[in-house]
Structure 1
Amino acid sequence: MLFVDDLHLSTTGGTELVHGVSFALAPGEAIGLVGESGSGKTLTCRAILGVPPPGVTVSGGTIRLAGDDVAHYTRRQWDRARGPRIAAVFQDPASYLNPSLTVGRQLGEVLRVKNGLHRRVAKARAVELLASMGLHRPEHVHDQYPYELSGGMLQRVLIAIAVSGDPDLLIADEATTALDVTVQAEVLNLIAALRAERRLSLLLVSHDLAVVAQLCDRVVVLRDGRVVESGPTRQVLDDPADPYTRALVADHREYGLHRLVAR
């Protein structure tokens, strides 16, 4: 599904930020990309999505999505790939939605452009999608503006937009970090259910090992733009080999991480 091999990311000035990151994600599999802030998690994911930050480029290695090398895709190629092949949800959903348009109009526009649906059909499908996200009174939510919804509701709307094109791969970059504990659990359960129902491959970016323990089959640990450890989730979190991973795990044990890993 996704194959990242010896990926290097550098600034236009020549400073290397990501140093030879490699991992593979199989169809239907979930991988957790973990590490502290500045470890290269989000940079790596943005490169995979074809939207590296301004001034950052892929300076080496390959990114293969369903067999195609997408590391140097053109904008037009990415426009075709995003939606049916790859989609993403991020930490601050409000910043990815237009505050002057209702959420239904924004979701409907994606359905019309990506799926070729007629306006009336797109509206009905949008309401269905919002309902499937666990949003109460989806017809009402459809007609609301982003500023009228809570953070948890906005994240569900963003997830609905992300899966509206039936992608093979979903990237969730700190998607629940800004939510309170109860809402975070609900959104994580939603992502897990969507993964099972749609056979989604999932790349979960998080600094929270408890979240990774709940959702991921394997873990890739990054530090300073390098992979320091990877393997099955239970193995890495229960018996970490690298000192950095051991320190991360130790920081989370007081929150009951050992109980999650043992499941």
Structure 2
Amino acid sequence: MLLDVGGLRVTAGGREVVHGASLTVARGEALGLVGESGSGKTLTCRAILGVLPGACAVASGSIDFDGVDLTTLDARGWRELRSTRVGAVFQDPASYLNPSLPVGRQLGEVLRVKGGLSRREARARVLELFAAVGLRRPEVVRRQIPSQLSGGMQQRVMIAIAIACDPDLLIADEPTSALDVKTQAEIVALLRSLRARFGLSLLFVSHDLAVVSELCDRIAVFRHGEIVETAPTAELLSAPQHAYTRSLLAAGAPGGLVHAVA
């Protein structure tokens, strides 16, 4: 098992907000986390990444990544993990990109600092990665600053940065929620393609079961800081066991995204 989270409890300002969450992600698997805003999905992912907000802390539980308990890491260990083994993509790509630097330079710096590439090697790799994430005319895109790109293009740049150092696990926290339906579908298709191409494991967070059902092998449902149900995607969609899962399904039947990119 690549990722094994057991009994995770997270506090915010001394108040417990994640109540004993347990989940696993196997190598090459995609696990979806669904639930309403504030249900604990993002805090769980940030605990796995070691980037909880200042007022939050892991109170108890284990986060085992490929045999290492991440709760024992120091700051250097966390940096090394995020530099090489775990990549992350978040909801608002513009917030994570330097607005004044060309996006190719930003990715190139990641490749030079974390990947040890020369300037020439990094430039060539930037073009390869931009092409891999579906950015047309990567030579042009690499010279543009974030404000010159659409939201979908910015997210593709962030995905390129996240996979730059060949991580084993990609955590995607609401990467499609700020995008229009067509662009959402394109990003989902891209993530599916990258999983197959690079053998990525994926932890995908969304409040939208329709999006998750198009991409993930299993789904874990969060409610009020707890995981109330986990099951293979087809099983959860056809025979949900928890009343909250049934209410999510009733709110919007999944299955429409694939047609937007057909």
TM-score by length of 1: 0.95
Deviation sequence 1:43-71 (CA, Å, 0-9, x none):
00000010011110000000011110112
CA–CA distance in 1 between the matches of 2:248 and 2:72?
A: 34
Aligned residues with identical type, % of pairs: 59
1:67 maps to 67
The equivalent of 2:6 in structure 1 is 5
> Please, what TM-score do these two structures have when normalized by structure 2?
0.95
Number of the residue aligned with 2:130 = 130
Match of 1:247 in 2: 247
Aligned residues: 257
Cα distance per residue 1:113-133 (max 9 Å; x no partner): 111000111011101111111
1:71, 1:86 → 2: CA distance?
15
- Whether contact under 8 Å (1:194, 1:200) holds in the other structure is yes
Q: What does 1:212-223 correspond to in 2, within 5 Å?
A: 212-223=212-223
DSSP-derived class of the 1:136 partner: coil
Q: Tell me, in whole angstroms, the C-alpha distance in 1 between the residues paired with 2:190 and 2:47.
A: 26
Distance 2:14 2:252 in 1: 36
Whether the aligned pair in 1 keeps the contact of 2:87 and 2:171 (CA below 8 Å) is: yes
CA contact (8 A) 2:213 2:255 kept: no
Structure 2 partner of 1:162: 162
Bigger mean CA offset, 81-90 vs 217-226: 81-90
Match of 1:234 in 2: 234
Counterpart mapping for 1:34-183 below 5 A: 34-183=34-183
2:201 pairs with 1:201: yes
Cα RMSD for the two superposed structures? 1.3
Q: What is the deviation of 1:256?
A: 5.0
Which amino acid letter does the alignment assign opposite residue 57 of structure 2? T
TM-fit CA distance, 1:83: 3.1
SS at match of 1:71: helix
CA distance in 1, matches of 2:103, 2:240: 43
Structure 2 gap segments, 5+ residues each: none
Aligned-partner Cα distance in 1 for 2:84–2:211: 26
- Using the TM superposition, give the Cα deviation of residue 14 of structure 1 relative to its aligned residue in structure 2, in angstroms: 2.3
1:8/1:61 contact within 8 Å kept: yes
8 Å Cα contact 1:83-1:162 kept in structure 2: no
4+ residue segments displaced more than 4 Å: none
C-alpha contact 1:83 1:166 (8 A) present in aligned 2 = no
Counterparts of 2:89 and 2:119, CA distance in 1: 25
